[in-house]
Structures are given as C-alpha cells and as structure tokens.
Chains A and B, each alone.
Chain A
Amino acid sequence: MELFGMPSQVLFGQLLLGLINGSFYAVLSLGLAVIFGLLHVINFAHGALYMLGAFAAWMALEYLGIGYWWSLALAPLAVGLGAAVFERAMLRRLYQSDALYGLLLTYGLALVLEGTFRNLYGVSGLPYDVPEALQGGVDVGFMFLPLYRAWVVVAAAAVCIATWLLVEKTRLGATLRAATERAEVVQALGVNVPLLVTATYAAGAALAAFAGVLAAPLTQVNPLMGSHLIVVVFAVVVIGGMGSIGGSIVTGLALGVVEGLTKAFWPEASAVVVFVVMAVVLVFRPAGLFGKVH
C-alpha cells in the first residue's frame, strides 16, 4: 500500500521515529519552559546539563558499577543538586539585571562544562549499552522497533505528564504558578520564594539530565551531544510559547513528527524544517502557539 507516493511501511516507521525524537524535544523544552516561567532566565546551559546527565550515567557505570536503572534516578538528582548550587552561588545575583545577563552566564557555564569534558574525554564519545532488559526489539508490522526506543517514549511521556500534573493540579504547582505571576505577593503570604526558585531551577536541570540518561544508550555519550540539540529545543520552546508547560510538551512531540516526515520526503531539509515552522509561527503568533501575550 502506498500513501503520498511512499510505501505506508516507511511512512509509519518515520512517524514513529519522529515521535521518539519528539519525546526528547518534549522533555528538554519542558525543563526550559519551567525555568523560564518562574526565573525568566533563558537557560542556555540546558544542553550542557543534558550532556552532564548522560555523562553521569556513564561515569556511574564505569567507575562505580551503578547500572542504567539506578542512574535514571541518581543522575538527575546529582545534576539537580549541582544546578541548585549554581543557582544559589551565581545565577541568583542576576535576577535584578537584564535577562541578557542570565543568558550570558548560563551560556558561559555551558562552554565551561563542554570544554572540560572535551578535554577529559575527547569528542568521539563513549559507548553506553542498552540495559539488558531492553535489548532486542519487536516486529510491529511496518518496522522493527527496538524495545529501548519504545521505552524512551513511555518514560518521556510519563515524566511529561507527571510534571504537567504537578504544576497544574497540585497545591505546590498552584504556589509556583502564583509566584510566576506575582512573586512579591506570594512572598508576603509567607511562601519561601527564593527556595522555590532554587528548587525550580534544580527540577528543570534534573529534567534535562533525565533526557540525557535516556539518550545515552542511543547515541554515544559525547561532550557535544547537548550543543547539537539545544538549538532545535530552543526553537521548540519559541514555537510552543515561552513558559507554557503544556505547550512545550505538545510542540516537542509535534515537531519531532514533522521532522521525521521531512526526513522521509526530503532528507536534506530535515535540519531546517523546525526553523521554518518557527519563522511561520512567529509571523502569525508572535507569542508562540500556546503562549500568552504579556
């Protein structure tokens, strides 16, 4: 059977792969959106934190013998803690200044982290194996689906939904949203806003690290893995609307699919299609698809 001049087999395969890549975009842009929402910081270190998550998993296995499943919890925790220290020690001092300073500081952090790991481990990357339980794959009719990729979609979706529920449906989330709107009022009502800010930055960083651990068995663990991805993720956030939680999840998945289809029909354009979408969206909806105009 053929659809749009392409065997339906190939088409479904590309759709599914797009969804898998979209899962990464969703988790990463979710973290960015959470951070931007409360801190109004454009976190350029997000790609480096993603890389750090993957490296944390690799190091845990290499030096401590800690396997994938533990890393999935421990790496985000470690990266989140590090991010909390960074927020307290440095980022905090810049909230009163122009947003550009926060961007520059996080960009600087990204360069330092990537440079350090490049010096220590080179750029060819380090191998990280798919965990025993998820090796192999299943024939789903139109393609051979590696079990691990199926797991990536499930894990990413679970984390996205949990984050969304936390922010939209819980008391903590309500406080967070209130602080986003009027921080000084929330503080006056007795909420420790600085702590909330630190926790939010740490949580955003942990999300990036979680995506990094998910990615480690798929690509090499490479100091540059984050910088390749971060530009696309920023485009996703802009399309979804800066700071919109639900928006970033939906946009992340949708753009993964759009990219996947482009790879099927016109591979050469797959690197730019996200940016074309971004340009078009910005022309018609400057605040993004799900963003609110301030």
Chain B
Amino acid sequence: MNRRANLIAIGVFIAALIGVFVLSPHNRQRLQSAFLGIVSPFLKKGSEVDSRWKSYRAGLKKLDELEAENQRLKVDNDQLRATNQALRGVEAENIRIKSALGYQGGSPFTLVPAHVIGRSPSNWWSTIVIDKGSVDLVQEEMAVVTPDGLVGKVVNLSEHSSSVLLLSDENCKVAGTVEGTKEQGIVRVEVRGQRTSNSIQPTMTLNFLTRFAPLRAGQKVFTSGAGTIYPPGILIGQIVEFKSRELDGQAIIEPSVDIAALSDVFVITGMKGATKSL
C-alpha cells in the first residue's frame, strides 16, 4: 500500500515537473510576475524593518562613542555634541535626497526613483528587487542607474516591484566606450574562475579593444549606446589597468557604483522630451 502510494506520488510529481518544463515563455513570465507580486509586499516590510534595525545599530555605535567622550568632557558639552551629531545626520540625509533630486532633475533621462527592497540570496546570480513595477511605467530591459553610474537592467516585473540584473552578474554585458577615444568594447564582470555574487564588489573588464590602444589608468568608461537597452553616456567605471593581449586589448575597470551597498536607484524609462519610452 505504502509502496503504491509512493509510486503514485512520484508519478504526480513527474507530471507536474513536466508541466513546469513545458511552460511557454509567456506563461512562465506570468507565473514569475505573479509570485514576485506576492513576495514584494513582504520584502518591502522586511526592508523597512531591516533599515530600522541598521539605524538602531548605528545609533548604538554613536552611543558608545558618546560614552567614550563623556569620560573626557563635561555633561553639558556632551549634550551639545549629541545635538550637533543628530543635526549632522539630518543634514547628511538632506544632502543625499537633494543630490538624488538634483540628479533626477538634471538628467537628460526620464527617471523613476526606486528603493532596493531585497538582494538575491543566491551564491551565483547577482540580482536585486526594487519597489517599482509596471504601474510605475517600468518595463523589462530598462536600464537602472544611480547618480554614480550604471547599475544594471530590469529583468522581471510585477505590478509594484521588479528584479534588476546587476552589472556584477556575468550575464550582464554592456557596450562601452572610453572617454576621449574611439575605443569601444564589451564590458562584463571579470570572472577569474569564480562566479560572482551580490556580496562581492566586482572588477569589470572592457574587452575587444585595439591591441595597442593608448589607454591609461583613470580614464572613464561610458555606455556607448550600441544595442537598445543602455542609452549612451552613462558612466560605468574607470580604467585601472590596460593589457595588450595576443589579438586585442583589455582594460580592467573599477565600477563607479558600489554594487554591494545599493539602497536607492533610478530606472530610465525614457528620454526627456521624447514621446516614446526607450
């Protein structure tokens, strides 16, 4: 009886598995979108709790520092310092928001600001979840940036959230060009035998350059605009080293964005003044 029940269970499992394998891309996308929609409210709440926990811990650090100062300074002096410290925190937040708003206003692109609500727990894939989706006019394959530069592109979408494939994922390849030159190539994460993950700030490479290209450390690399996803002129990073190889040249690039510490990003939904989104 038990054996028979097991065989039936295995049969049902195999049938269900085949059902998943033969899903059409459209149905698979709908399933992914629906599940992302279920998960995103929890991720948003979790992200809020996580932020509060981090600021609480940061607050504890400040208290420690203040305690150390208490041993050296008078009590009223300490109170003034604490007030000053709190105001500095507000000021820093103010500067950050102003800078983000300034970037949004000054950018030639139409930008949708988004908050990072989750980072993929995978060891081998590098994605984040943001709190903007199709109702915010976000679409798949749209470029995602910060004021510092390129972050990646939207790969999965639900109504109120999206997954973003980060520049640090090996599958994310971008056509890049070096400032002040005609050198163009493909930027991708440097693998060195290991797969990347969210926890690592990657090193990138710009490949297929001219073998003896006159490139030097410090030169900036921007998106070239080849292809339909990334508009031209978005900063990717700066050259750290140039290597002349057997057939071509390769530049090692330090990304301009701190991939491991992303909190606020912008999705490029179109060009300002353009009637059609990118």
Partners in one complex: no
- Chain A: residues with CB nearer than 8 A to chain B? none
**Which residues of B approach A to under 8 Å, CB–CB?**
none
